[in-house]
Amino acid sequence: MRKAAIAACACGGLLVAPGAAQAAPVASASATAGTVDVTAGAQTVREGPIAECRLGAQDTASSPGVEAGTTRFGKSESQCSRAETGFATGMVRGQRFETKVLRKYGGPTIKVRTYSARCDTTTNGASGLVELSDVAGIEVPSSIPPGHTVDLPGEDGKPLARVVLNEIVVPEPPDGSLATNAMRIQLFPEGGPATGEIVVGSASCDPYGDA
């Protein structure tokens, strides 16, 4: 079994002009089981966001499973909520992800048994948590660190794909918001017969966003 749980924090402040009347910020959050955006030759496959919740628009969502070309997402569910304190949470859980998109190029089938992603706003920013279990098709350590990256080599020496596990995305410069991806697969990052990416398990939140 390969299982990982990581936490990250993005901290930032809200700048207010002296003497200006300002409404209290409204925290926002969203989460999705994933997306597919892959182009191979003349064929493009796009799917998702799958089972997406968005606070204030659709607070819960679920999917019995989705097939997008050679990629399959199993059952998933997401929930976005706001506590009485005003803090917002976006979270998603899914299972039985599998993609064979690299098989035609000599690459592996990549599988994940279960995954989850969560993002919570805090008093001065946001925190994230990602979990993965039973990752197959790529070599991963028993304890997967944040931003763990695996390049899958092709016959020409260029990578077939770049796989990032436990990805934490923070804007530059930081503004307090945060996004987490359980897994992101970028196809042929140095060029090749296919382009695009597949994201598995994603949550984001912003303490100063509008829901």
Does residue 95 form part of some domain?
A: yes
Does residue 15 form part of some domain?
A: no
Domain limits for position 66? 3-9+27-206
- Sequence-separated (6 or more) residues with CB below 8 Å from residue 128: 6, 7, 8, 9, 10, 117, 118, 119, 120, 168, 178, 179, 180, 203
Does residue 136 form part of some domain?
A: yes
Does residue 19 form part of some domain?
A: no
- The structure's pTM equals 0.86
Does residue 17 form part of some domain?
A: no
Considering only 5-9, 71-75, 162-166, which range has the smallest mean pLDDT? 5-9
Does residue 150 form part of some domain?
A: yes
pLDDT at 84: 87
Does residue 103 form part of some domain?
A: yes
Does residue 83 form part of some domain?
A: yes
- Domain total for the chain? 1
pLDDT at 41: 85
What does the pLDDT look like over 96-110, one tens digit per residue? Answer: 999 999 999 999 999
